[in-house]
Chain A
Amino acid sequence: MIKEKEIKNLTDVTVRFAGDSGDGMQLTGSQFSDTTAIVGNDLSTLPDYPAEIRAPSGTVYGVSGFQLHFGSSDVFTPGDRPDVLVAMNPAALKKNLPELKPGASIIVNTDAFDKKNLQLAKYENNPLENGELKGFTVYPVPINSLTAKALEDNPLGQKEKARCKNFFALGLMYWLYNRPIEPTLKWIKNKFKKDPNLIDANEKALSAGYNFGEMTEIFTTRYNVDSAKLPTGTYRSISGNEATALGFLAASVKSGLPLFLGSYPITPASEILQYLSTYKNFGVKTFQAEDEIAGVTSAIGAAYAGNLAITTTSGPGLALKTEAIGLAVMTELPLVIVDVQRGGPSTGLPTKTEQADLLQAVYGRNGEAPVAVLASSTPSDCFYMALEASRLAIKYMIPVILLTDGYLANGSEPWKVPHANELPEIPVKFRTEKEGFAPYIRDENLARPWVKLGTPGLEHRIGGLEKANITGNVSYDPDNHDLMIKLRDKKLRNMVKDIPDLQVEGEQQGELLVLGWGGTYGAIKEAVVDARKAGLIVSQAHLKYLNPFPKNTIDVLKRFKNILIPEINLGQLTKLIKSEFLIPVIPFNIVRGLPFKASDIEAKIREILGGKSNGRN
């Protein structure tokens, strides 16, 4: 006789799946996310995996994790600390235990807690037996053997069967959080359509996990998280990299320009190249170059030829592209450079997130080389910022660097899909008339004319040597150099009339403004919302345009007594704001390769408003 299980309602939950790099944790997490999105929760995800593709199994450094925060109201972050951990082996438990909420639930795959795995995880004795997990609710489940049992009749080999254990865990989690298994069943059918045995095995493992929850005595309660009240519309789950790729595709359609991407694979930006290479039926040309420099220079060639030209990379790649970006500045060509920031310096932390390329983007070139710098704030915002970067590059004939980061790139959220006809057109005017043409005459925006190569009568030469004003001929004239340096700078500064004002969320003036940029939007938002719920008076503003800053930036900043700037670097926006506006700010910097915890920012807000800090500097 099975006891009817209690269903408890929750407003939000943070779940983390963790196992070996080869255990399929990323897939498990993304399936859980997709299903959770389909049932109408708002959510945010954080994949966290090692740089090694298959680190030695069982080791702590080989642990791959996927965190997901979902709720019945707005969700801004992937969650500070998990409420539930699914640990597929001792290493996964060891690595993630310190991150868990006090009293969190842990579902452990007890079959993996054998002598060998305990040793690999450097456990001297079994944490399931030594009292180490006191204070947590532990659910021991022999996932390996239950999966094997469920697949008894399947003709696959033992090794292949064992690989289905992640779907057993997924099925169990579906049961526990009252989600349907159908979307994943559909996915399995499509994914393995060439191999009926794999379909059978994965379906059985998933169902077995679900049914285990129902039948076992271990779980007395299951949970429900109601749908969030999201604006009506059609939604899809989207990651930052996918949104970036789609944004450029949209920019190509909306500008009528063929899209050319010159790029070299680099973590965590490669996916943008991968996604765009699938859109060949849009005429997209993706050129996987021999190196980062060829990536950007081929894009410069394509821009000169008359295409929407982009290059995508991460920090070390941006460093390699530095000289070429200067060439695009000098030749005044439209070029979009995407930097998916990762932990640095040097090779740094390839799979982790950071915001430490801001100064490189704004200043990192020889000579006075102004480029526009934009930053996406959420995974789906990458779509709109890719469109915006393209629009500005074309309108002003200037290179634009779009900064995203590892967290935005891999994280996903539900996105209310816009209709193609709601997206703004991107006007393009190619110069065709011969009369009065010179390569460096300028329009009202100080942009020089763009000539599509092959236009008869407009043959002209440009290059990296200083250009004479108007004619574009090579010029070493001192006054001309001074003039051109200032013209290029003025063109950039003029862009402020074309970018939206900085918006303040919360009171428009007061004691404290939290000023952020890029991928920290969600964490700051959650911190500010929570602080306001607790009665604190604090506002938020988020910069998406970093060079130039929106024209009202100083007005906004002056209305607040304190400006707190949280950044995953040592204070790069802080430096820019202080040098541009000569005002004191409070930096808040944690550089762990991980997104901010909202609670850390909230604690800082409390510290400032509690009067404990007058630490303006």
Chain B
Amino acid sequence: MEETKVDQKIKLTAKDFATSQDVRWCPGCGDYSILAQVQRSFPEIVGLDKDKIVWISGIGCSSRFPYYMETYGFHGIHGRAPAIATGVKVSRPDLSVWVATGDGDLLSIGGNHFIHACRKNIDLKILLFNNRIYGLTKGQYSPTSEKGKKTKTTPFGSVDYPFNPVSLALGADATFVARGIDRDPKHLQTLIKRAADHKGTAFIEIFQNCVIYNDGAFDIFSDKKVKAEHLLVLEHNQPMVFGTNKDKGIKLDGMKPVIVNINNGEYSINDLLIHDEHDTSPLRSMMLAHLTDNPEFPTPIGIFRQISKPTYDESVEEQINQVKKLKGEGDLEKMLFSGNTWDVN
């Protein structure tokens, strides 16, 4: 048996994860790329058997995702994917449980489930397809839409402030927090593989272009001519350098991040902040999450934070085993006749 399993694993390719269903996203939708990167990454993830993978989703364009993955899959109801996934993972810790969700699904109607999944460190991989718009309902603003956005429900511009999903996940103590882009396939694949390897809640915000209702929202991050000026690619143990000529960097001035030029002699690469994914304090990752508050700063992508702590699901198992040791395996007959009993003769 073992042997055939190994053989099978070697042979698996991206195509093995495709289903017979026609993919029904709009032509040009960023979701296609995300699907492709997942299908390309999965064969390379060691120990991941097809029948042990479950994709759970809520409602929205992104939530059609499970139908296109040849694994177990469950298309749930709006906002509830993390809660459904929690039930799967906690009851079956042997499964690899993935959530495909969107900005409305996860951060509006499902916000509560999201923060509590992060807080409990349930071993779920949550992929947020963030297109900053409601697509399936045809173009209303979402909780990640920028302030002032004109949409069908905000004809004069939205007046509310958007969520910063990375900041929200960090605030809820997620143990793996990352950001990727649909149009950077290699980078996204790396993030997916790293999320798969992580034990605990792994959250990836993916900038995803909606060609119909919010086209071009992330163009500056994929346009070869300008993207280097706007992106800060986070790499563990590396200084935070960006810019077309790699001439700029992020330096800490006290608690405040500042942009410095490392080519004009005033500062060198040695003055820059070194990224530490595993920093147990959330302060620096939170600071990075909020770089985007200032439009002059680049937008970080990559892994903001990856720390280890026991997961909820494994702690539940552990407690059950402890109680079994303490009390002995449950015995129904004994349980029925426990407490204050008396005999009637």
Residues of A within 8 A of B (CB): 34, 37-38, 40, 183, 230-237, 246, 249-250, 253, 258, 260, 262, 279-283, 285, 287, 289-291, 293-294, 297-307, 309, 323-324, 326-327, 331, 416-421, 453-465, 473-474
**A462 — which chain B residues lie within 8 A by C-beta?**
73-75
B337 contacts A417, C-beta separation under 8 Å: yes
- CB contacts (< 8 Å) of A234 on chain B: these are 337, 341-344
Q: What are 23 contact pairs spanning A and B, CB under 8 A? A: A233-B344, A236-B342, A237-B339, A249-B330, A249-B332, A280-B319, A281-B328, A281-B329, A282-B330, A293-B113, A298-B90, A301-B83, A304-B84, A309-B87, A323-B77, A418-B336, A453-B88, A461-B66, A461-B75, A463-B67, A464-B59, A465-B75, A473-B21
Of A417, A454, A461, which one neighbours B94 at CB under 8 angstroms?
A: A454
Of B50-58, B176-184, B298-306, which stretch is located at the interface? B50-58
CB distance from B164 to the nearest CB of A (A): 21
Q: What CA separation (Å) do A459 and B19 show in the bound complex?
A: 10
- Nearest chain B CB to A380 CB, angstrom units: 12
CA distance A297 to B79 in the complex (A): 10
Chain B nearest CB, measured from A300 CB (Å): 6
Q: Select which of B84, B320, B342 is within 8 A of A285 by beta carbon.
A: B320
- Which residue of the partner chain B has the closest CB to A233? B344
B70-89 Cβ-contact flags toward A at 8 Å (1 or 0): 11111111001001111111
Further pairs besides A280-B323, A301-B83, A461-B55: 16, Cβ < 8 Å: A40-B342, A235-B343, A249-B330, A285-B90, A290-B83, A294-B112, A294-B113, A298-B84, A300-B84, A302-B91, A304-B88, A326-B77, A420-B336, A456-B51, A462-B73, A463-B76
For B68, the closest partner residue in chain A by CB is A461
Contact indicator B87/A459 (Cβ below 8 Å): no
Whether A34 pairs with B340 at a CB distance below 8 angstroms is yes
Note all chain B residues with C-beta closer than 8 A to A473: 21
Chain A residues near B80: list those with CB within 8 A: 293-294, 297, 324
In the bound complex, residues from chain A placing their C-beta under 8 Å from that of B73 are: 459-463
Which residues of chain A have C-beta atoms less than 8 A from B12's C-beta? none
- B324 within 8 Å of A (CB atoms): yes
In the complex, residue of chain A having the shortest beta-carbon distance to the beta carbon of B52: A454
Pick from A282, A327, A416, A453: contact of B72, CB under 8 Å: A453
Residues of B within 8 A of A260 (CB): 87, 90-91
| Inter-chain contact B112/A283, CB cutoff 8 Å | no
Kindly state whether residue B335 has any CB partner on chain A within 8 Å: yes
User: Does B116 reach chain A (CB closer than 8 Å)?
Assistant: yes
Looking at the assembled complex, report how far the CB atom of B35 sits from the nearest CB atom of chain A, in whole angstroms: 14
Our pick among A231, A262, A297 for the contact of B76 (Cβ within 8 Å) is A297
- B binding-site residues for A, Cβ under 8 Å: 19, 21, 49-52, 54-57, 59, 66-67, 69-77, 80, 83-92, 94-95, 112-113, 116, 316, 319-320, 323-324, 326-330, 332-333, 335-337, 339-345
Q: What's the nearest-Cβ distance from chain A to residue B266, in Å?
A: 50
- Measured between beta carbons, the chain A residues less than 8 angstroms from B76 are 297, 300, 327, 463-464
Report the bound CA distance from A262 to B316 in whole Å.
14
> At the interface, is chain A mostly helix, strand, loop or mixed?
mixed
Known: A232-B345, A281-B327, A323-B77. A454 touches B336 (CB 8 A): no
Nearest-CB distance from B82 to chain A (Å)? Answer: 8
Beta-carbon contact of B83 and A305 below 8 Å: no
Whether the Cβ atoms of B51 and A457 lie closer than 8 Å is yes
Chain A residues, CB < 8 A from B323: 280-281
**A-B pairs, 9 with minimum CB distance:** A463-B75, A301-B87, A282-B330, A298-B87, A461-B73, A294-B83, A290-B116, A280-B323, A302-B91
| Highest count of chain A CB atoms <10 Å: which of B335, B336, B341 | B336
Q: Which B residues are CB-close (under 8 A) to A253?
A: 330, 332
User: What residues of A have a CB within 8 angstroms of the CB of B326 in the complex?
Assistant: 281
Q: Are A419 and B77 in contact, CB atoms less than 8 angstroms apart? A: no
A306 and chain B: residue at smallest CB distance:
B92
Contact A417-B341, Cβ < 8 Å, known A281-B327, A287-B90, A465-B75 = yes
Q: How far, in angstroms, from A283 to B317 measured CA to CA in the complex?
A: 9
Contact check, A290 vs B112: say whether CB atoms are below 8 A apart: yes
CB-contact partner of A246 in B88, B92, B320, B336, under 8 A:
B336
Q: Please report the C-alpha to C-alpha distance between residue A305 and residue B95 in the assembled complex, in whole angstroms.
A: 9
| B71 proximity list for chain A (CB < 8 A) | 459
B86 touching A301 by the CB < 8 A rule? yes
In the bound complex, what is the Cα–Cα distance between A572 and B75 (angstroms)? 35
A453 with B95: in contact, given A249-B335, A420-B332 (CB under 8 Å)? Answer: yes
The chain A residue sitting closest to B80, CB to CB, is: A297
Q: Which residues on B sit within 8 Å (CB–CB) of A230?
A: 344
**Nearest Cβ in chain A — how far from B50, in angstroms?**
6
Contact B51 A301 (CB under 8 A): no
Are A37's CB and B91's CB within 8 A?
Answer: no
CB closest chain-A residue, reference B87: A301
Docked pose: A285 CA to B344 CA in angstroms: 35
Point out the residue from B66, B84, B342 that lies within 8 Å of A301, measured CB to CB: B84
- Once the chains bind, are B320 and A283 in contact (CB under 8 Å)? yes
Query: With A299-B87, A417-B337 as given contacts, are A458 and B66 in contact (CB-CB < 8 Å)?
Result: no
Residues in chain B near residue A237, CB distance under 8 A: 339-340
B66 surroundings in chain A (CB, below 8 A): 461, 463
Residues of chain A with a CB closer than 8 A to B69's CB? 461
Q: How far does the alpha carbon of A558 sit from the alpha carbon of B276 in the complex, in Å?
A: 79
Q: List chain B residues, Cβ under 8 A from A305.
A: 54, 87-88, 91-92, 95
Chain B: minimal CB distance from A495 (Å): 25
Q: Are A301 and B343 in contact (CB under 8 A)?
A: no
Point out the residues of chain B lying under 8 angstroms from A289, CB to CB: 83, 86, 116
Give the nearest-CB partner of B322 in chain A: A280
How near does chain A come to B10, taking the closest CB pair, in angstroms?
17
**How far is the CB of A434 from the nearest CB of chain B, in Å?**
11
- Determine the chain A residues whose CB is within 8 A of the CB of B342 once the complex forms: 37-38, 40, 234-236
Q: How far is the CA of A416 from the CA of B343 in the complex (A)?
A: 9
Are A40 and B344 in contact, with the CB atoms below 8 A? yes
B86 close to A298 (CB less than 8 A): yes
Residue of B nearest to A228 (CB): B344
Bound-complex Cα distance A474 to B22 (A): 11
Residues of B within 8 A of A456 (CB): 49-51
Query: Who on chain B is nearest to A37 by CB?
Result: B342
Complex Cα–Cα for A471 and B170 (A): 41
Residues from chain B with a CB closer than 8 A to the CB of A233 are: 343-344
Contacts of A326 in B (CB 8 A): 77
Contact of B344 among A232, A300, A419 (CB under 8 A): A232
What is the bound-complex CA distance between A457 and B51, given in angstroms?
Answer: 7
A250 to B334, CA, bound (A): 12
Q: Which residues from chain B contact A331 at a C-beta distance below 8 Å?
A: 74
In the bound complex, do residue B54 and residue A298 qualify as a contact, i.e. CB atoms below 8 Å apart?
Answer: no
B56 to chain A, nearest CB (A): 7
Contacting pair A454 B339 (CB below 8 A): no
**Chain B proximity of A184: nearest CB distance (Å):** 11
B98 vs chain A, min Cβ distance (A): 13
> What residues on A are CB-neighbors of B324 within 8 Å?
280-281, 283
Once the chains are docked, how many angstroms separate the CA of A279 from the CA of B323? Answer: 9
Q: How far is the CB of A29 from chain B (nearest CB, A)?
A: 15
Contact B335 A279 (CB under 8 A): yes
* Contacts known (A249-B332, A453-B54, A459-B72); A287 close to B343, Cβ less than 8 A: no
Contacts of A250 in B (CB 8 A): 332, 336
Give the complex CA separation of A235 and B72 in angstroms.
47
- A420 neighbours in B (Cβ, 8 Å): 332-333, 336
Cβ–Cβ < 8 Å partners of A459 in chain B: 50-51, 70-73
Least CB distance from A249 to B in Å reads 7
CB-CB under 8 A for A324 and B77, given A234-B343, A280-B319, A460-B72: yes
A298 touches B344 (CB 8 A): no
What separation, in Å, do the CA atoms of A5 and B345 have in the docked complex?
30
Instruction: State the CA gap A464–B84 with chains docked (Å).
Output: 13
**What distance in Å separates the Cβ of A43 from its nearest Cβ neighbour in chain B?**
12
- B191 CB, nearest partner CB in chain A, Å: 24
